Structure 1
Amino acid sequence: MIKYLLPLLFCGLVAAGSSSFCPSEGIRRFSLPRLNTRYVQCTEGVPTLNECEPGTVFDASLELCLPLILVAGDSGARVVECPDQSDSDEVIYIRHPKRCDVYFMCTKGVPYEQQCPEGTYFNPNVNVCDKVENVECVIHS
């Protein structure tokens, strides 16, 4: 369903006027909600929809597509188990059980570790890294 809503979201951003969404000068990249492989690039105020190469996701803090890193614990066992999504393109987010600044993106049943920028924690209510004061951090032992 998301793949059908994406063009509508992008068209809505363009229809809203590039001056209200894109900076009028320079090049900036912005993530799209829940679509970590796609982003909007604004060039001199004009937005264009882009997609990361396979095996990478868009990092909004760096404004770059970065490789996904498979997570393994010290023993080689996975830190989290993702639900089986072999027939879905949906990304599921799971907070790290022992670190509030780390979360996992589950794609096709495989967990990929993501690190929040310094001074932020993963907020599972909105599936983004958020200010520490906005997140209830509970560590599971």
Structure 2
Amino acid sequence: MYAIQISSVLVLCLATTYAFRAPLCPEDNSIEVYYPSNDCSKFWQCSNGVPVLQRCPADTLFNSDLNVCDNPESVVCPAPKPSTTTRRPRPTRPPKPTLPTRRPREQ
């Protein structure tokens, strides 16, 4: 039972990792490999051929030139990509018919 729970957690973690469009890591573990994330406060670190999303300490951003978390003023953070999802336009309703106005009767 314990093994099933551990397996379920592992599958969930891997599914979550890959949902963020993780990079492909080399199978060769002899060198450290880092990739920037879409969020400049995070980066991908390859560990045993598996990409692991890491977070930089507070008030730092990932510097992909140096492969370290660095001061924000030393990092060029690309602008976020615009959303590619589009919404369907809401159908417009025809205007309600208006009744002709009548002049009040004179008394």
How many residues get paired?
A: 69
Say yes or no: does 1:72 pair with 2:16: yes
Matched-pair contact (CA < 8 Å) for 2:28–2:49: no
Structure 2 counterparts to residues 38-117 of structure 1, below 5 A: 72=16, 77-83=19-25, 85-97=26-38, 99-117=39-57
Runs of 4+ in structure 1 off by over 6 angstroms are none
- After TM superposition, give the deviation of residue 88 of structure 1 in Å: 3.3
1:132 alignment partner, one of 67, 72, 75: 72
After TM superposition, the score normalised by the length of structure 2 is 0.54
The structure whose residues are more often strand, as a share, is: 1
Look at both structures and tell me which one has the larger radius of gyration over its CA atoms.
Answer: 2
**Cα distance per residue 1:40-82 (max 9 Å; x no partner):** xxxxxxxxxxxxxxxxxxxxxxxxxxxxx75725xx6352222
Q: Percent identity?
A: 32
Matched-pair contact (CA < 8 Å) for 1:71–1:111: no
| CA-atom RMSD in angstroms | 2.3
Amino acid at match of 2:66: V
5+ long unaligned stretches in structure 2? 1-12, 82-107
5+ long unaligned stretches in structure 1? 1-68
The structure whose residues are more often helix, as a share, is: 2
Higher relative contact order (CA 8 A, sep 6+): 2
